[in-house]
Amino acid sequence: MTDTRATSISSVLSDRALIDSDVHVEIPKVDTLFPYLPEHWIEHIRQSRFKGPTDTAYPPRAPTTARPGAQPDNGPAGSDLALLRAQALDAAGVELAILNCAYAIESIHHPDAAVAMASAVNDWLIAEWLEKDSRLRASLVVPSQIPELAAREIDRVGAHPGFVQVFLPVRAQHPYGSRLFRPMWDAIARRNLVAGIHFGGAPGNPPTPSGWPSYYFEEYTGMAQVFASQLVSLITEGVFDQWPSVRVTLIEGGFTWLPAHLWRFDKEWRNLRRTVPWVKRSPSAYIREHVRLTIQPIDAPVSRQQLLEVIDQLGSDELLLYASDYPHLHHADPLEFLGDLPSGLARKIAAENARAWYHF
């Protein structure tokens, strides 16, 4: 990072548009999925108390759930293609955007229902989003709580050119490095997809190592600890050694917590590496090769100099990906964040890193 001059947003985007690595879409209501569900499940939903996933990481009235003007008249924020086009794509000049649908498939304990709902969501994403705007790509959803069935769904639709990623909620019943998930990682590697580990999840267990918090604020703030635990699991249990081509993006978890975590992770690996002899390299080396992070929500220091120091401590200018996290609202604006960076680094975060990572 030899270029230390701040650059304007216009100069960052003068040669290419943004690639937005996290744009949210929402299913307005369970009936929306009826055209993509077998008749058995339509009847089951109509005649039973089962109405699909009801848990959400984005409470309707939470300030972080929807920015002003993002909610259409007939559904939740992120459910209207025209509004998303205008606000998330056209307004910022986005070249490509990756859609993430945080429909809590992992909260469904009936395995057949989980598979049916996941398949319906993916078919809905194809028909209602990917086929209607060439700028859109998406993460496919899977019943991650049942890795064999998750692998089956990845193989079913993973070859569709619009799907570039598998959506995995960061909260899970088991860390994703566990050997329980080997069928899922096999499928992700086989289809050459990115594993997008995303904020949230509703697996039924507490969101903190200490148990259930009292307030959403606690859960939201503490989610960075869950991301850190998943990173430790993936490396310690040898996911990147067994599947050397696997790429993981940490989405909506921030990034400024990572340098200190890497220092501790590397130190303890040097102390305890004899207990995990298959981990051949330092954790930071694995992360810089196999992991990327979206910038939003931006937990940036107050001063520009401190921000640049934190990014420098990551040890690579390829780790960060631009994301608006539309339609969610955060204190920091990601475009203003780019404007605070040296021009070369800003261009990499704006588009070049994502272009290389997702093979666009």
**pLDDT tens digits for 254-294?**
999 999 999 999 999 999 999 999 999 999 999 999 999 99
- What is the pLDDT at residue 14? 56
Paired residues of 320 in beta bridges: 293
| pLDDT, tens only, 323-360 | 999 999 888 899 999 999 999 999 999 999 999 999 99
Give percent of the chain above pLDDT 90: 81
Tell me the C-alpha to C-alpha distance, in Å, between residue 349 and each of 50, 72, 95, 223: 42, 30, 14, 23
Exposure of 356 in the CB half-sphere (CA atoms within 13 A)? 15
Q: What is the pLDDT of residues 64-106, one digit of tens each?
A: 888 888 888 888 889 999 999 999 999 999 999 999 999 999 9
Q: Residues 12-50: pLDDT tens digits?
A: 555 557 999 999 999 999 999 999 999 999 999 999 999
pLDDT of 183 above 70: yes
Q: What is the pLDDT confidence band of residue 6, given thresholds at 50, 70 and 90? A: very low
The pLDDT assigned to 303 comes to: 85
* Amino acid 301: pLDDT: 81
pLDDT of residue 5: 41
Cβ contacts of 339 within 8 Å, gap of 6 or more: 6, 7, 8, 9, 12, 346
The CA-atom distances, in angstroms, between 214 and each of 193, 208, 210, 228 are 37, 11, 12, 22
Q: What pLDDT score does 67 carry?
A: 86
pLDDT band at 302 (very low <50, low <70, confident <90, very high): confident
Segment holding 266, helix H or strand E: helix 258-272
**What's the CA dihedral at 190, 195, 102, 228 to 10 degrees?**
150
Q: Which pLDDT belongs to residue 69?
A: 85
pLDDT of residue 42: 96
Contact in structure between 287 and 249 (CB atoms under 8 Å): no
Q: Is 28 helix (H, G, I), strand (E, B) or coil?
A: coil
Q: How high is the pLDDT of residue 71?
A: 85
| pLDDT, tens digit, 9 for 90 and up, residues 105-151 | 999 999 999 999 999 999 999 999 999 999 999 999 999 999 999 99
Is residue 168 predicted with pLDDT exceeding 50?
Answer: yes
pLDDT-derived band of residue 208, with 50, 70 and 90 as boundaries?
confident
Give the strand pairing for 136-141 and 163-169.
parallel
pLDDT surpasses 60 at 8: no
- Please state the rounded mean pLDDT for residues 295-323: 92
What per-residue confidence (pLDDT) applies to 236? 97
> What is the C-alpha to C-alpha distance for residues 78 and 141, in angstroms, rounded to an integer?
17
In the predicted model, is pLDDT for residue 181 greater than 50?
yes
To the nearest whole percent, how much of the chain has pLDDT over 70? Answer: 96
What pLDDT was estimated at residue 89? 96
The domains located in the chain, with CATH, are 16-357 (3.20.20.140)
- Give the helix/strand (H/E) hosting 268: helix 258-272
Average pLDDT over residues 208-225: 91
